[in-house]
Amino acid sequence: MSASLRAFILMFSALCGPTGGSGLLSGPTNVSLTSHNMNLELRWAPPEGAAGDLVYTTEYKSPVTPYRVGCVNTPHLKCDFTSLNISIVEYGKYTCRVRAQVGEKSSGWVESKEITLDTDTIIGSPNVSLFSNGASIDVSIKDPDFKVSDLKSVYISTTYNITYWKDGQLETAKSISIKQQNRVVLNDLELWTKYCVRVQIFTDRNPNPSEPSRTVCESTTSKEEAPWVAAIVTFVIMALAVALVVVAVVYRKSISHFLCPKDALPQHFKEYLLAPPDSSKYLAMRYSHPPKEIYHQISIVAEEGRPLEVAGSSCSKQPDVRAGGELQEKRERLRSTEAVKKS
C-alpha cells in the first residue's frame, strides 16, 4: 500500500470517527440562520428518510469566539439563541451549525451562512394609533420591540415613511417622511372624511425597510378644537387645587375647630346637674318601703257537702262565715222534709 493511500485512509478515519457513525445518519437540510427584531434563530429540516425520534444539537460562534453550545437534544426544528442565557451583541457577526442524533448515532455538523445582526435583521412592523382633532389627524408611532437593545439605540438615524389616503382611494395616496420623531400631525384634511394611514421604518445601516404597519383609519370632525382652551382649563383646575391645599394647611386648626367644635357647659349648669336632688317627694319615694299585704285562709263547701279548702286573699280582715251557715241550715231542712215523706 502506498503512502498516499495510507494517508487518505487515516484522514478519512479522523474525520468520520468523532461522529459516531455519521455515515449511517444524514445531516439536517435547508439550514438557515435568520434574525427578526434583533433575535438570532437557526432553522432546519429533518434529514431525508430520517426516523421520527430524532433530536438536534446546535452551536454558534462569532469571528472572535469558537463554537459554543446552544440548544441541546431538542426535538424542534429551530433554535432561538436569544432566548437562551447567552450573550448576543447587536452589532455582532454569527455563524451557527446543527447536527441530528438518534440513540448513539449522530450526523455531521451542517453549518449556516454568516449574518451580521444589525444589517441582516428583519425589522418588524410599528404600531400606529390615530387621534382625530378637527380637520387634522395626529399619528402616533410605537417602535417594534427588539430582543436585543431597542430601535433608536441600534440605528442612530431612523426615518418614518407615512402613507395616508382617503378610505377607498388608495390610488390617490400621499406620503411624508419624518426623522427621529414618533409623532406627526396630518393637516389640511377634508372635514367629515375617513382617512387611512400606514407606516414603514427606514434605517441608516439596514438596507431593508421594516415590515409595513397594519392599516389604521380615522375620521376627521367638523371643527378643529383650539388646543389652548384645554390648556387654560387644566391650568385653572390645577391652580384651584393648589390654593385649596394651601388654605387647608394654613388654617387647619380653625377648620378643625369649625368641623369638630368642642362645646363646654357653663360652670353653674354643671353644678346644678351634678348636685343631689333635695325634693321631699323624691326622698320619700327613695326611702319608702312597699306596703305589707295580708292573706287569709277561707273554706268553700261543695254542693255534695264536702268542704274544699283553698288559699286566697281577701281585702277584709275578718273571715265571712255567714254564707256557709245559711247553706248548712237549708240542707238540714231539706233532709227533714224528705224523712217525713218517707214515713
CB 44 within 8 A of CB 56: yes
Instruction: Please report where in the chains the cell 274544699 appears, as a residue.
Output: 308
* Residue 244 to residues 138, 247, 253, Cα–Cα distance (Å): 36, 5, 15
Give the lowest-confidence range in 138-147, 184-193, 195-204.
184-193
* Residue 133 to residues 138, 168, 190, 218, 301, Cα–Cα distance (Å): 7, 21, 12, 10, 112
Looking at residues 27-42, what average pLDDT do you find? 96
The answer, yes or no, to whether residue 286 has pLDDT greater than 90, is: no
Which among 42, 194, 212, 177 has a CA at the least distance from the CA of 110? 42
Higher pLDDT, 278 or 8: 278
Give 181's DSSP letter.
-
Which among 44, 196, 191 has a CA at the least distance from the CA of 128? 196
pLDDT band at residue 35 using 50, 70 and 90 as cut-offs: very high
| pTM metric for this prediction | 0.59
User: What is the C-alpha to C-alpha distance for residues 145 and 36, in angstroms, rounded to an integer?
Assistant: 10
- Mean model confidence pLDDT for the chain: 81
Instruction: Give the neighbor-by-neighbor strand order of the sheet with 29-34.
Output: 29-34, 41-45, 78-80
CB 60 within 8 A of CB 40: yes
The answer, yes or no, to whether residue 12 has pLDDT greater than 60, is: no
180 Ramachandran zone, left/alpha/beta (phi>0; psi -120 to 50): left
| Model confidence pLDDT, tens digit, residues 99-111 | 999 988 999 999 9
pLDDT confidence of residue 316 = 44
Looking at residues 260-288, what average pLDDT do you find? 68
User: What is the C-alpha to C-alpha distance for residues 18 and 34, in angstroms, rounded to an integer?
Assistant: 29
130 Ramachandran zone, left/alpha/beta (phi>0; psi -120 to 50): beta
| Model confidence pLDDT, tens digit, residues 47-98 | 988 777 899 999 999 999 999 999 999 999 999 999 998 999 999 999 999 9
The domain defined by 17-120 carries CATH number 3.40.50.300: no
**How many other CB atoms are there within 10 angstroms of residue 315's CB atom?**
6
User: What is the C-alpha to C-alpha distance for residues 6 and 96, in angstroms, rounded to an integer?
Assistant: 33
Give 39's DSSP letter.
-
The answer, yes or no, to whether residue 19 has pLDDT greater than 50, is: no
The domain defined by 127-219 carries CATH number 2.60.40.10: yes
**197 Cβ contact partners less than 8 Å away, ≥ 6 residues apart:** 128, 130, 137, 139, 162, 163, 164, 186, 215, 216, 217, 218
pLDDT confidence of residue 194 = 96
Give the lowest-confidence range in 29-43, 62-76, 264-278.
264-278
The answer, yes or no, to whether residue 324 has pLDDT greater than 80, is: no
- Cite the residue boundaries of each domain of the chain with CATH code 2.60.40.10: 17-120, 127-219
Phi, psi of 30 (to 5 degrees): 50, 45
CB 57 within 8 A of CB 101: yes
Grid cell at residue 6: 495510507
